[in-house]
Structure 1
Amino acid sequence: MAFVGCGNMGRAILEPLLDTVFPEAESSDEASSSALVSKFIACTKSKASAEKLPELLGRHHSHVSISHGQTLETMKAADVVVLGFKPYMADDVLGAPGVREALAGKLVISLLAGTGAAKIRSIIVGDSTDTEAPYVVKAAPNVAARFRQSMTLLETPDVPLPQHYTDIVEWIFLQIGKIKYLPLEQMNAGAMLMTASLAAMSIPLEGLLDGSVVEGLKRQDAMEIAIQGLRGFTEVLDKGTHPAVMRESISSPRGCTIQTILTVEKASTRAVFAQAMIDGSRHFK
């Protein structure tokens, strides 16, 4: 399995995979018998990035062959190729001489935001009909992958995958959290919702922390309380409770909770978050 580009998202996937494949309980040089992938390559664009990677990967870096500027050689050496570079680089990287042949018939997993599997495949193959096309899967994980808590969105394949490739894709992303298949036309909205769940929701969380500090809590204590509250919130939702039902169940007449909700609603916060989702999704287009 090769990572062509191994920045923040590539490492967020690679680190948990290494932990799974090379658990501490086993010999440091022996892969787990249940692993569907056991050899790893990481190719960065620059020498500086390659030199930093061992430290960033930590104790398992010796299980990764690290290089820089050897994109074509990396693709040739791998059975599974993960595209982890910037989306604007797609034409230059995938349209380079030899790439089409290097990726023929292989499994290509694209992490490129806003670019579907069919587009990636067309860049690789072009107008050629004499080369076997790669099997391309579009995946959208998030940075919580490093903590095995990502919801990875997988684009429903437009070209059916061989079963062993499907098994590999699902095994990879189940090591970093959960997976959900979506059709191409829903991928951007789904990816934005994942991002909003992390980035956009951090803004009201900071506001809650600031207010708690004003009312006398230490910020670290407030953070600890809020984190556990969020864990409980997600658990309640995961059991099938609608957010509105949960909200109403803890709002007592003349209570403090309903007062906080009213303050938030007066600021049209719900509409702001809805518009943020719409604006973010349309920015992909």
Structure 2
Amino acid sequence: MNPSPRKVAFLGCGNMGSAILSGLLDALDEIKSGDARTWNFTACTKTERSAATLVEKLGQHATRVQVLHGQNEEALADVDVVILGVKPYLAKEILSKPGIGQALAGKLVISLMAGVSVDEVHDLLLPLATEAPNAATYVVKAIPTIAARYRQSMTLIERSSSPLPQHHEELATSIFNFVGSVKVLEPNLMDVGSVLVTACLATLTVPLDGLLDGSVIEGLPRRDAMELMSQGIAGLGALLKHGGHPAVLRESISSPRGVTIQTLLSVERENTRVTFTDALLHGTEYLQKMRSKAEARQPSEKDKA
């Protein structure tokens, strides 16, 4: 097996890319061996302004990262792994630039683009194959969360339908293990999985805001309420992670005539459970529609011929 690659390029480094990069750098800082210092990172943004913003976000780690803007081909030179974090609608424009095909040849490309399948990324790269016909580009799809910044991401990796070199599979997993946990899913489950991990960080903030507002109304300062709630969420996460079922947890802390059952009753009266079920179903449906539209825009096999 090839030695673990140490050179990683981020192509498009917005909120998600910078979160992953920051988490990786923090994790590597905790590794005492000098081997951790052999990792090299390059990040390329679209504009000079976004490059300056990234440097500011990286803080003390900025000296360990080469930050470029508008220099994609240069960013991809002499790296082993490319983390593709561009907006899906920009992917074709960026990947079709002259020289990109040669720069990606033989490398592992980790796509962070939700709603864009591995096959679609391969279709984008197919016209570039003439630049390096003897070196395949390997693509893996990963859906992390911005909690990667604090190494608490739940990253989904799509199981590849075509064989990947073992060291590429291990590398993709190890990168995201640095910033949290990893779950490998079949391609047909990636949409619902993507919406679920996103809902855990976005949709659930709506009821949490409501709890904070209620706490303030009752006289508890918002900062204190946030502290209490944050630890409560961490505790809930630990219980769920160790096998606790939500219904069992609710039952175990709902005493007869107690306060907890009163709060639960208020939530159930508003059909809140169905609202969140619908939210996940609608999000998954939207991703599927995005893919269907993208596939409709792809040329047929006859057109390609």
Structure-1-length-normalised TM-score: 0.92
Query: SS at 1:109's partner residue?
Result: strand
Aligned to 1:54: 55
Letter in 1 for 2:41: F
Q: Does 1:123 align with 2:120?
A: no
Higher helix share: 2
Matches within 5 A, 1:37-186: 38-126=39-127, 128=129, 130-186=133-189
Cα deviation, residue 228, structure 1: 1.6
Q: Would the aligned equivalents of 2:144 and 2:155 in 1 still touch at CA under 8 Å?
A: yes
Q: Does 1:188 align with 2:191?
A: yes
Aligned to 2:18: 11
Cα deviation, residue 131, structure 1: 4.5
Cα deviation, residue 128, structure 1: 4.9
CA 1:227–1:46 in 2, change beyond 3 Å: closer, same or farther? same
CA 1:118–1:279 in 2, change beyond 3 Å: closer, same or farther? same
In 1, the alpha carbon distance for the partners of 2:219 and 2:63 equals 48
Q: Would the aligned equivalents of 1:151 and 1:178 in 2 still touch at CA under 8 Å?
A: yes
Aligned to 2:35: 33
Aligned to 2:297: none
Q: Would the aligned equivalents of 2:101 and 2:129 in 1 still touch at CA under 8 Å?
A: no
Which sits farther off after the overlay, 173-182 or 201-210? 201-210
Letter in 1 for 2:196: L
Aligned to 2:303: none
CA 1:128–1:54 in 2, change beyond 3 Å: closer, same or farther? closer
Cα deviation, residue 218, structure 1: 2.0
In 2, the alpha carbon distance for the partners of 1:15 and 1:220 equals 26
Q: Would the aligned equivalents of 2:45 and 2:51 in 1 still touch at CA under 8 Å?
A: yes
Letter in 2 for 1:278: L
CA 1:53–1:127 in 2, change beyond 3 Å: closer, same or farther? closer
In 2, the alpha carbon distance for the partners of 1:141 and 1:85 equals 14
Q: What do the CA deviations read for 1:36-68 (whole angstroms, capped 9, x no partner)?
A: x61111111111222332222111211111111
CA 1:128–1:144 in 2, change beyond 3 Å: closer, same or farther? closer
Query: SS at 2:276's partner residue?
Result: helix
Which ranges in structure 1 are unaligned for 5 or more consecutive residues? none
In 2, the alpha carbon distance for the partners of 1:177 and 1:110 equals 18
Q: Would the aligned equivalents of 1:125 and 1:131 in 2 still touch at CA under 8 Å?
A: no
In 2, the alpha carbon distance for the partners of 1:168 and 1:157 equals 14
Percent of counterpart pairs with the same letter?
A: 49
Aligned to 2:281: 278
Which sits farther off after the overlay, 91-100 or 152-161? 91-100
Q: Would the aligned equivalents of 1:20 and 1:32 in 2 still touch at CA under 8 Å?
A: no
Q: Would the aligned equivalents of 2:16 and 2:85 in 1 still touch at CA under 8 Å?
A: yes
CA 1:53–1:221 in 2, change beyond 3 Å: closer, same or farther? closer
Which sits farther off after the overlay, 96-105 or 272-281? 96-105
Letter in 1 for 2:81: V
Displacement over 6 Å in runs of 4+ = none
Structure-2-length-normalised TM-score: 0.86
The CA RMSD over aligned residues, in Å, is: 1.9
In 1, the alpha carbon distance for the partners of 2:64 and 2:221 equals 43
In 2, the alpha carbon distance for the partners of 1:174 and 1:38 equals 15
Query: SS at 1:137's partner residue?
Result: strand
Question: Quick one: which of 199, 204, 219 aligns to 2:202?
Answer: 199
CA 1:212–1:33 in 2, change beyond 3 Å: closer, same or farther? same
Cα deviation, residue 229, structure 1: 1.4
Q: How many residues align?
A: 279
